[in-house]
Structure 1
Amino acid sequence: MSKEKLLSIALLIVGFVFPIYFGYNNYQEKKRLKTANAELTNQINLLEQTISRNNQIIADNELSKRELENQSLERQEQINEQLKDNDCAKQFV
C-alpha cells in the first residue's frame, strides 16, 4: 500500500472517529449540565422558601414586640393612674 493510500485511510478514520467522539462527549456533558441545573434550581427554590419563612417569622416577631410594648405602656399608665391619689406613693423612700 502506498503512503498516500494509508494517509487517506487514516484521514478518513480520523474524519469519522473524532466527530463521533466529540459528539458523544458533548452529549454526556449536556446531560450532566441538565442534571446540575435541575439540582441548583431545586436548591434555589428551597432557599427562597426558607427566606420567605424567615421573613414571616421576622414580621411576626416585630408585631409581637410592638404589641408587648403597647401592653407595657398601658400597664404603666394603669399603675400611674392607680397611684396618683395614693399618699404613700408620693413619699420618697
Structure 2
Amino acid sequence: MHTVDLLVVGRGQSVVDTSITYIGDLGYRALGTTLDEEALDILDREQVRLLVIGGGVETESRKTLAAKADERETTVVAAERAGRGVEQYLAEEIVPVLRG
C-alpha cells in the first residue's frame, strides 16, 4: 500500500543522507530532503507511511508539513535525538515503528 516507508525532512543534508542510507540498507524505501516544498511534493505524489521531521526544522514548517501529512494519513514523528547519533536514534526510535 505505501510507496515510501520513510520521508525524512531535516535542515542538515548529512543527517538526511545518513538517515535515508541507514533505513534503505534495512530494506525500506526512504526519501529525504532539506526543502519543505520538496517534502510537500513527495507527500502529494507518494503514499508515505512515516514522516520524520528533524529537530532543526522551524515551527511554521513543522505545522505545514504535519498538516499535509495528516491529510494524507501519514504518521508524523518529531525527531528528538537527545544527544544520540543519527543511526542510534533511528535504530531505537524509528526502526521499531517501521517494523510495526
Decide which structure has the larger Cα Rg and report it.
1
TM-score, normalised via structure 2 length: 0.16
Greater helix content: 1
Greater strand content: 2
TM-score, normalised via structure 1 length: 0.18
Higher relative contact order (CA 8 A, sep 6+): 2
